[in-house]
Amino acid sequence: MNILSFMEEFPTEPACKAHFKDQREKEGVICKTCGSSSHYWLKAKGQW
């Protein structure tokens, strides 16, 4: 992917963050410390 195609696919920072969030949800979010798959999205921080 070059910079032009990247900018077309992700025109804004929220669009880029939404893409990464969707990818993580497809893979499944698992805690690296305890291995739990019970999680929730912290909207204010933009992270799990």
Which contacts (CB < 8 Å, 24+ apart) does range 9-14 have? none
pLDDT of residue 30: 86
User: Can you give the pLDDT at residue 8?
Assistant: 92
The number of C-alpha atoms within 13 Å of 14 and in the hemisphere containing its C-beta is 2
What pLDDT digit, counting tens, does each position of 23-35 carry?
888 888 888 888 8
Q: What is the pLDDT of residue 41?
A: 82
Question: What separation in angstroms does the CA of 32 have from each of 5, 20, 40?
Answer: 33, 18, 15
Find where tokens 């410390």 sit. 33
7-19 pLDDT per residue, tens: 999 999 999 989 9
DSSP H helices in 1-48: 3-9, 13-27
Which pLDDT belongs to residue 9? 92
